[in-house]
Structure 1
Amino acid sequence: MELNVYLAGQIHDDWRENVKNKAMAKELPVRFFEPMTNHDRSDNIGEEILGEQPNAVFKDEAASAFNNLRTNVLMQKADIVLALFGDQYKQWNAAMDVGAATALNKPLILVRPESLHHPAKEMAKQAQVVVEDLDQAIEALAYIFQKN
């Protein structure tokens, strides 16, 4: 069995590469999907496809449409969603992705440090599992494949 895992949440650091490397080291049979992590591409995709927009609001709206399309398609392919809610960046993407995973009835592993228990409490209630770091998230994935 191979699982498709969507890596949801903020796009401003290399946490996804960390997860992929840890999964590879454990030889987990997983395939990863993720949002567009090239921030400039993500912000400009609307204008790249539709042409120049009249102002910043329309530019953001156009980019959001294409980013939401990408997220929806890739998340539908996922068997499980792993969402990182961290403390370094504003976490709107993580919150939105948790909502999408819930709407699509996707099993969810939420990664959030204990210090963020309060701001992430509603998201935590949507998750099947809440862990504090990426090592614990990898162990949760590994447990799925463990034989009796």
Structure 2
Amino acid sequence: MKVYLSGEIHTDWREQIIDGCKNKQLPVTFISANTDHESSDAAGDCLGEEANPFWRDHKSAKVNAIKIQNAIKSCDLAIIRFGDKYRQWNAAFDAGFCAALSKPYITLHDESLTHPLKEVDGSAQAWATTTEQVIQLIEYTLT
């Protein structure tokens, strides 16, 4: 199974899921968007310097989309994490892209985000509050 890990980049949730699946010897391959904030922001810099930050962000978003769209299209399942420190608009976009492609996805967030994410959760196959729940869901789908 190929699993795309999307969303919040400030905690170790990705490593928890990867390690948990590895410990259970689950046949899973993980892919992710760029989780290094600075290099993600600079993804389009090779296309030329921009004086206006809007255009720098615009170019980098398009370059990052190449990787993200290919990852979502090629995955069997996406895990989309919403943290409480920052709003992850990119993760909400990834969830919408998954829904449009009929790609199954699981949201991962705490109860404080239930209301703002009601539409995102409404299209998800599951909503988890812990990485252990995600690991259990992955294990279930493989057995």
Under a length normalisation based on structure 1, what TM-score does the superposition of the two structures give? 0.92
| Structure 2 residue identity aligned to 1:94 | A
| Structure 2 residue identity aligned to 1:27 | Q
Secondary structure of 1:13's match? coil
Q: CA deviation at 1:96?
A: 1.0
Q: CA deviation at 1:54?
A: 2.9
Alpha-carbon separation, structure 2, partners of 1:104 and 1:34:
18
| Structure 2 residue identity aligned to 1:103 | A
Match of 2:33 in 1: 35
Report the count of equivalent residues.
143
State, as a whole percentage, how many aligned pairs show the same letter.
38
Calculate the aligned-residue CA RMSD, in Å. Answer: 1.1
Q: CA deviation at 1:105?
A: 1.2
Match of 1:109 in 2: 106
Secondary structure of 2:42's match? helix
Q: List runs of 5+ in structure 2 lacking aligned partners.
A: none
Counting only pairs closer than 5 Å after superposition, residues 67-86 of structure 1 correspond to structure 2 as 67-86=64-83
Are 1:80 and 1:108, in contact at CA under 8 Å, matched by a contact in 2?
Answer: yes
Are 1:101 and 1:108, in contact at CA under 8 Å, matched by a contact in 2?
Answer: yes
Alpha-carbon separation, structure 2, partners of 1:115 and 1:45:
33
From 117, 137, 140, the equivalent of 1:140 is 137
Instruction: Give every structure 1 segment of 4 or more consecutive aligned residues whose post-TM-superposition deviation is greater than 3 Å.
Output: none
From 55, 59, 63, the equivalent of 1:58 is 55
Under a length normalisation based on structure 2, what TM-score does the superposition of the two structures give? 0.95
* Cα-to-partner distance string for 1:107-135 (whole Å, 9 max, x where unaligned): 11111212221111110001011111111
Alpha-carbon separation, structure 2, partners of 1:13 and 1:90:
14
> Does 2:80 align with 1:91?
no
Are 1:85 and 1:120, in contact at CA under 8 Å, matched by a contact in 2?
Answer: no
